[in-house]
Chains A and B, each alone.
Chain A
Amino acid sequence: MSRHLTPSKIGLLALIRLYSDGVVPSSATIPVLSFLISYLLPVRSKTSQEDDSVSRDGFTVSIQKLQSATISHASVIPGRTIWDLLLKQLWSINSLDALHAFFDELPLLLEKPFDANADPPDSRPKRMLFPRNSPLGAFVRRSQLEFTRLQFHDGSNLWKSLIIYRAPTLAVWKRRNPAAGPSSYDSNLQAASFDPTGTLSNLVYGNLPLNSSKDGILKHGNTSTDDMEKLLDYQVSRMQRPGNRVPQAMQSQLRAMAKSGLIIPSVASYVHFLDAWKSGDYPSSFDSLHRYFDYTMQSRDRSLYQYALLNLAILQADFGCFSEAVTAMQETVATARENHDMPCLNYSLSWLYQFGRTHPEEMVEIQKKGVLGSEKEALSFLKAKAKESNMWTLLSTTLLSEAKLLLSNGDNVTQAFESIVKASHLNVTKNITEGYGGLMLMQSSIFDRLGVGCQAWSYCELFLQCYAGQSPSEDVIQIQCKSAYMLARKGRWEEAISRMDEVDHEALRTLRYQQFWITNLGILKLHRHLHRDELDAGDHVLAQLQAAPTGVPELQYSISIAEIQLHMRRGDYTHALGLLEQLLTDLNQQEADIFQRLKAMVLKARIYDEAGVPQKGFSVALRAASLAHKARLLPVLWEAVGAIGRVLISMKEFGATVRLIENVLPQALECEDCDLAAYLFSCLADGHMGMAGQANGGSLQRKEKLTKALEALDRAFEEFSRIEDIRGQCEMMAKKATIMHRNGDSVLANDCAAKYLDIKAAAKVQE
Chain B
Amino acid sequence: MSNFTKEQAISLRAQLLRASVQCSERCLYQSAKWIAELASSLKDPADFNSPDDPDSDIAMPDGYPPDNIPIFSTSEDDEESRLEALEIGDFLLAKSFFDCREYDRCAAVFLPLNHSPINPSSVSPEPESQTPTKAAKGKGKARAQSPEAIPRPRTTSLPRMSQKSLFLALYAKYMAGEKRKDEDSEMIMGPMDTGATINKELIEIARRLQDWFQERTLQGKEAQNHGWLEYLYGVVLAKSNSNEDAKEYLIKSVHRNPFIWSAWIELRDLLTNVEAFRTIIPKLPQHLFAILFNVDANQSLYQTSPETHSTLTDLLKVFPTSQYLLTQRALLHYHSKDFEESESIFSSLIHTSPHRLDSLDHYSNVLYVMAARPKLAFLAQLATATDKFRPETCCIVGNYYSLKSEHEKAIMYFRRALTLDRTFLSAWTLMGHEYVEMKNTHAAIESYRRAVDINRKDYRAWYGLGQTYEVLEMHHYALFYFQRAAALRPYDKQMWQALAACYESIDRPLQAIKAYKRALIANIAYIEPSSSFGSASASVTTSSASNPTTNVFLDPELLYPIALLHEKQSEFETAASYMELVLAQEEGPASIHPDELPLGTMKTNEGGKRWRGTRNRCDGDDE
Contact = CB atoms under 8 A, between A and B. Distances in A.
A146 interface: no
Contact of A156 (B347, B375, B376, B384): B384
Given A104-B404, A203-B385, A95 B351 contact: no
A530 B146 CA distance: 116
Max chain B C-beta neighbours (<10 A), residue from A98, A152, A153, A188:
A152
Contacts of A188: 374-375, 378
Interface in A150-195: 152-153, 156, 159, 186-188, 192, 194
Nearest to A157: B384
A96 interface: yes
A95 B377 contact: yes
Interface in B529-548: none
Contacts of A206: 385
B381 interface: yes
B388 A200 contact: no
Given A152-B380, A153-B388, A95 B374 contact: yes
Contacts of B381: 96, 156, 159, 204
A188 B354 CA distance: 14
A156 B380 CA distance: 9
A198 interface: yes
A169 B397 CA distance: 31
A751 interface: no
B378 A204 contact: yes
Interface residues of A, number: 23
Contact of A152 (B347, B374, B378, B400): B400
A100 interface: yes
Interface string B346-379: 0100110011000000000000000001111110
B576 interface: no
Max chain A C-beta neighbours (<10 A), residue from B347, B350, B354:
B354
Given A153-B388, A198-B351, A200-B350, A98 B374 contact: yes
Interface in B371-415: 373-378, 380-382, 384-386, 388, 397, 400-401, 404, 406, 413
Nearest to B353: A199
Contacts of B350: 200
Contacts of A98: 374
Contacts of A194: 351
A100 B354 contact: no
A98 B373 CA distance: 9
Interface in A177-231: 186-188, 192, 194, 198-200, 203-204, 206
A97 interface: yes
A100 B413 CA distance: 17
A137 to B, nearest CB: 23
A199 B406 CA distance: 31
B375 A152 contact: no
Given A152-B413, A156-B384, A96 B378 contact: yes
A101 B384 CA distance: 19
Given A100-B377, A152-B413, A203 B351 contact: no
Contacts of A95: 374, 377-378
Contacts of B385: 156, 203-204, 206
A200 to B, nearest CB: 4
Kindly state the interface size class of chain B when it binds its partner. Answer: 20 to 34
A200 B382 contact: yes
Given A104-B404, A153-B384, A204-B382, A97 B377 contact: yes
Contacts of B354: 199-200, 203-204
A200 B352 CA distance: 8
Nearest to A189: B378
Contacts of B400: 152
A148 B401 CA distance: 11
B351 A97 contact: no
Contacts of B382: 200, 203-204
A192 B354 CA distance: 14
A101 B385 CA distance: 21
A40 B355 CA distance: 41
Contacts of B397: 152
Contacts of A199: 354
Interface string A82-121: 0000000000000111101100100000000000000000
Nearest to B382: A204
A159 B375 CA distance: 15
Contacts of B376: 97
Contacts of A153: 384, 388
A192 B347 contact: yes
B374 A200 contact: no
Max chain A C-beta neighbours (<10 A), residue from B350, B378, B397:
B378
B387 to A, nearest CB: 11
Contacts of B377: 95-97, 100
A50 to B, nearest CB: 40
Contacts of A186: 378
Interface string A628-664: 0000000000000000000000000000000000000
Nearest to B413: A152
Contacts of A156: 380-381, 384-385
Given A100-B404, A152-B384, A198-B351, 11 more contacts: A95-B377, A96-B377, A96-B378, A96-B381, A156-B381, A156-B384, A187-B374, A192-B347, A192-B351, A203-B355, A204-B378
Rank and list the top 3 A-B pairs by shortest CB-CB distance, nearest first. A97-B377, A188-B378, A96-B377
30 contacts: A95-B374, A95-B378, A96-B377, A96-B378, A96-B380, A97-B374, A97-B377, A97-B378, A100-B404, A152-B384, A152-B413, A153-B388, A156-B381, A156-B384, A156-B385, A159-B381, A186-B378, A188-B374, A188-B375, A188-B378, A192-B351, A194-B351, A198-B351, A200-B354, A203-B354, A203-B386, A204-B378, A204-B381, A204-B385, A206-B385
